């Protein structure tokens, strides 16, 4: 079952905490990370109804600064960085010229000429290299991943919990905004962002404070029902919320338009990597489109399973799972645009058998605000 890694896996500063909590550890993107503590379903439901605490320190951070910082980011990312106020963040993608993503990321504006990117763990080095390679304008680019730990408190009780341990006034931090503040005695960046479909916070802070921050949050959240949550729940939560995962919905072959991310393709901002390819595709139409589906019977579709429409193999499942809060078997898949109407019946090939499914709108789950 578990494979023996050929190279030493990296560990976050909270590794000993996870072991002490009895977490099941797995390899993810070159890191040894907690998959689950009490169980994926319990952790998932806690985040939907209460709150969960995640160690996501494996994620990478890259700082871009200097007079040319904006110019570089406008060129290499698809969203419009000029729209960011100081203290605001945006979802975006680092782009290939062919309109696909090197990675998806969050871009935070820390200061006038100072930006902070949060990127996927396994893509951190390629992202950093890509920024350097395309940095003809001469911005300062630094990979600061090893300086930061990152924890996420997610769920309807997240604000109540975090408010006990920070000097920041959380009501002043809107969704996709952040502030530099003290939380659990550590100075860091507290952002109202997340990857679960719930309200919540992500806190970037110096590695040395990791255990203190984790323990203070657990203590502050104990009465509210906060429990540690692993990558297993993180994946099912983001799937229910219809969010893309790099390597599944996004890769070098898939354009942002195919992935349904037209909202982060800001053509009006001017030149950027991939702009021409995306404009051409917008005009000519996409070859395939991301859809959501729900299994009609009790079968569970898994990543990579073939999707059949009208007797032909038409695409593949990009992510599929039991959805613990909805208690349905759902997934996302890429299909030719003519087959993507909601309600359409499709078949998923599951171990040589055709299992019925039907297309549903994304996201599967949307929280009430």
Partner 1 sequence: MYPQELLYTKEHEWIRVHESTGTIGITDHAQKELGDIVFVELPQVGDQVTMKEAFGTIESVKAVSDLFSPVSGEVTSVNAKLQNAPELINSDPHGEAWLIKVKLTDRGQTEGLMTAEEYEAYVQEAAAH
160 makes contact with partner 1 (CB under 8 A): no
100 makes contact with partner 1 (CB under 8 A): no
CA distance 321 to 100: 25
User: Which is closer to partner 1, CB of 312 or CB of 353?
Assistant: 353
302 makes contact with partner 1 (CB under 8 A): yes
* Smallest separation (angstroms) from partner 1 to the CB of 298: 6
CA distance 324 to 242: 14
52 makes contact with partner 1 (CB under 8 A): no
Residue reference for tokens 């079968």: 299
Select from 83-91, 185-193, 294-302, 335-343 the region that touches partner 1 (CB under 8 A): 294-302
* Smallest separation (angstroms) from partner 1 to the CB of 339: 26
**CB environment 48-72: b (16+ within 10 A), e (fewer):** bebbbbbbbbbbbbbbbbeebbbbb
User: Which is closer to partner 1, CB of 36 or CB of 80?
Assistant: 36
339 makes contact with partner 1 (CB under 8 A): no
Select from 86-94, 113-121, 196-204, 316-324 the region that touches partner 1 (CB under 8 A): 316-324
Query: DSSP per residue over 210-273, as a string?
Result: HHHHHHHHHHHHGGGT-EE--HHHHHHHHHHTT---BTTTB-TT-BTTTTT-GGG--GGG---T
State which of residues 149, 236, 255, 347 lies at the interface with partner 1 (CB under 8 A).
Answer: 236
* Smallest separation (angstroms) from partner 1 to the CB of 368: 24
85 makes contact with partner 1 (CB under 8 A): no
Q: For residues 3-42, which are near partner 1 according to CB under 8 A?
A: 4, 24, 35-36, 39-42
Q: Which two tokens stand for residue 368?
A: 């009430």
* Smallest separation (angstroms) from partner 1 to the CB of 351: 7
**Contact, 108 vs 78, CB < 8 A?**
no
**Contact, 334 vs 257, CB < 8 A?**
no
* Smallest separation (angstroms) from partner 1 to the CB of 125: 27
Q: Which two tokens stand for residue 15?
A: 């590794």
Sheet holding 200-206, edge to edge: 178-183, 186-191, 200-206, 148-154, 52-55, 227-228
- Judged by phi (left if over 0) then psi (alpha if -120 to 50, else beta), residue 36 lies in beta
State which of residues 31, 195, 204, 322 lies at the interface with partner 1 (CB under 8 A).
Answer: 322
321 makes contact with partner 1 (CB under 8 A): yes
User: Which is closer to partner 1, CB of 353 or CB of 368?
Assistant: 353
The angle, 0 to 180 degrees and rounded to 10, between the axes of the packed helices 231-240 and 40-49 is: 50
* Smallest separation (angstroms) from partner 1 to the CB of 24: 7
CA distance 279 to 268: 11
Binding residues for partner 1 (CB under 8 A): 1, 4, 24, 35-36, 39-42, 232, 235-236, 298-300, 302, 321-322, 324, 351
């Amino acid at each position: 079952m578990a494979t023996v890694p050929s190279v030493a896996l990296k560990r976050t500063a909270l590794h000993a905490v996870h072991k002490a909590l009895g977490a099941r550890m797995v390899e993810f993107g070159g890191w040894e990370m907690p998959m689950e503590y009490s169980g994926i379903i319990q952790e998932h439901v806690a985040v939907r109804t209460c709150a969960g605490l995640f160690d996501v320190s494996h994620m990478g951070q890259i700082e871009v600064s200097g007079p040319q910082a904006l110019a570089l980011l406008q060129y290499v990312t698809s969203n419009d960085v000029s729209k960011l106020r100081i203290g605001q963040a945006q979802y975006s993608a680092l782009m290939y010229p062919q309109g696909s993503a090197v990675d998806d990321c969050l871009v935070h504006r820390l200061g006038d000429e100072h930006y902070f990117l949060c990127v996927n763990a396994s893509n951190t080095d390629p992202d950093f290299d890509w920024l350097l390679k395309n940095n003809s304008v001469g911005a300062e680019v630094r990979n600061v991943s090893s300086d930061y730990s990152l924890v996420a408190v997610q769920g309807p009780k997240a604000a109540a919990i975090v408010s006990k341990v920070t000097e920041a006034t959380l009501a002043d931090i809107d969704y996709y905004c952040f502030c530099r503040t003290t939380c659990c005695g550590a100075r860091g960046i507290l952002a109202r962002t997340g990857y679960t479909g719930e309200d919540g916070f992500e806190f970037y802070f110096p590695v040395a404070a990791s255990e203190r921050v984790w323990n203070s949050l657990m203590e502050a959240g104990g009465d509210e029902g906060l429990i540690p949550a692993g990558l297993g729940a993180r994946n099912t939560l983001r799937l229910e919320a219809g969010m893309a995962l790099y390597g599944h919905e996004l890769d070098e072959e898939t354009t942002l338009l195919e992935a349904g991310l037209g909202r982060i393709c800001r053509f009006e901002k001017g030149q950027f990597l991939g702009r021409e390819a995306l404009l051409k595709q917008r005009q000519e139409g996409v070859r395939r489109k991301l859809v959501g589906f729900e299994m009609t019977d009790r079968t569970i579709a898994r990543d990579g399973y073939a999707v059949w429409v009208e007797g032909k193999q038409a695409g593949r499942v990009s992510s599929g799972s039991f959805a613990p809060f909805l208690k349905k078997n759902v997934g996302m898949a890429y299909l030719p645009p003519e087959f993507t109407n909601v309600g359409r019946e499709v078949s998923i090939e599951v171990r040589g058998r055709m299992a019925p499914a039907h297309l549903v709108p994304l996201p599967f789950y949307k929280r009430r605000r």
